[in-house]
Every structure is written in C-alpha cells, then in structure tokens.
C-alpha cells in the first residue's frame, strides 16, 4: 500500500505537468497527437500498468486536481485550477538559482515590504528566499551573488506579490563585500 502511495506522489507532478502542456496544445489544434503522446508517456511512467494509470487518475480526480469529462468512450481529462495550484507548488519546490561558471561581480538585493496582515506571505517569502540561497541582511532584505530575475518573477507569481512588494536590485559593489564573498564562497 505504501508503495502505491509513493508512486502516486511521485507521478502527480509529472501528470499535472503533462496535462498543463496538453491543455496548451489542445488550444493549438493537435488534440489527438498531444493526447496520444501524453498517454504514452504516462503509461511508461506508470511502468506500463494500465490499472495503475486508472487508479492514479481516480486519485487525482478525488483530490480535485483533474476533471474527467465526456461521454462513454470519449473521455477528456483536464487539469483544474486546484491542479494548477498544486503544480505551481511542485514547481516552486523545484526552483533553484543556477550558479554560473564565472561570477559577474554583481550583487542582487531582494527587499520586500508587506503589511502585518500578510504575515503568512512574509514568512513564505523569507522561507523561499533562504531555500534559494539568499543571505539575510535585514529582516526583509536579502542578498545573492547570481542572476535570479526569473526566479524572483516566478516567486512573485506563486506567492501573489508584485514588484512593489518584492523588489529586486543589482549592485556593482556593496559594503561588507569581503564577508559576503566568504559566505557565498566566492574567494
């Protein structure tokens, strides 16, 4: 029983990602090809066990991550808004800042300003910035040596803040740079 549960847990992000892509392709026009390709990948991921595929689809439907529509024989599986939220959560956990081969000698400062009523957003921001490898300079000011604009944009989108609430700046030099270089192992 635990093995099936772990397999479901591992397959869920792959299936939701696939459905998100298929949904986009469906709008384009290549419906049969997209669904066929998705089904092939899904069956392969489930170790070619059609029973496992049916069980997992039922699991995802029960959780509200997908909706299954259509008459007998023609079933359409679609990711729901709750499924998209879950997918964003998976993507957020996988988010990382790539370390370039050579440091460009610039510092990235991330600062946020959220009202006290949005404490949970502040805490989530702090937690994610720390997970991304930022160093906390002050309670709401963080620093990182590598380009992270895309990651910050993704973080803003997932947490629900805008560029006025989570601000990113780049600096050529910064006070206490020697200590920061040691912290980030740049020397």
- The domains of the chain are located at 2-92, 100-183
- Confidence (pLDDT) at 140: 92
Report the topology of domain 100-183: Alpha-Beta Plaits (3.30.70)
CA distance 8 to 41: 15
DSSP 133-172: T-EEEETTEEEESS--HHHHHHHHHHHT--TTTEEEEEES
The closest of 60, 123, 62, 69 to 87, measured between CA atoms, is: 60
Asked if pLDDT for residue 164 goes beyond 90, the answer is yes
- Confidence (pLDDT) at 61: 87
116 CB-side CA count, 13 A: 0
Asked if the domains 2-92 and 100-183 are classified in one and the same CATH topology, the answer is no
Which long-range contacts does 62-68 make (Cβ < 8 Å, 24+ apart)?
A: 65/12, 65/16, 66/16, 66/19
Asked if pLDDT for residue 32 goes beyond 70, the answer is no
The closest of 92, 141, 133, 134 to 113, measured between CA atoms, is: 141
CB atoms within 10 A of CB 83: 23
Band of the pLDDT at 44, cuts 50, 70, 90? low
Strand order through the sheet with 107-112:
135-138, 141-144, 107-112, 166-171
Q: Would you state the structure tokens that stand for residue 181, as one six-digit string?
A: 């270089």
Asked if pLDDT for residue 184 goes beyond 50, the answer is yes
Mean pLDDT of 96-119: 94
Report the topology of domain 2-92: Arc Repressor Mutant, subunit A (1.10.10)
Lowest-pLDDT choice from 58-72, 88-102, 120-134, 156-170 = 58-72
What is the reported pTM? Answer: 0.69
Q: Would you state the structure tokens that stand for residue 117, as one six-digit string?
A: 């009523």
């Amino acid at each position: 029983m635990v093995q099936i549960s772990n397999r479901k847990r591992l397959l869920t992000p792959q299936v939701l990602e696939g459905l998100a892509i298929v949904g986009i392709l469906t709008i384009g026009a290549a419906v049969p090809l997209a669904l066929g390709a998705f089904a092939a990948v899904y069956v392969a991921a489930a170790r070619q066990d059609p029973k496992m595929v049916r069980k997992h689809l039922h699991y995802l439907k029960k959780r509200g991550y997908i909706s299954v529509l259509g008459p007998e024989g023609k079933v359409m599986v679609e990711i729901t808004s709750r499924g998209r939220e879950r997918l964003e959560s998976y993507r957020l956990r996988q988010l990382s800042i790539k370390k370039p081969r050579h440091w460009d000698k610039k510092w990235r400062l991330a600062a946020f300003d959220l009202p006290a009523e949005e404490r949970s957003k502040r805490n989530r921001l702090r937690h994610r910035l720390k997970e991304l490898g930022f160093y906390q300079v002050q309670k709401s000011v963080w620093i990182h040596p590598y380009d992270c604009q895309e990651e910050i944009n993704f973080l803003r989108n997932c947490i629900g803040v805008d560029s006025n609430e989570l601000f990113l700046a780049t600096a050529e030099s910064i006070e206490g740079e020697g200590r920061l270089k040691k912290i980030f192992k740049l020397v």
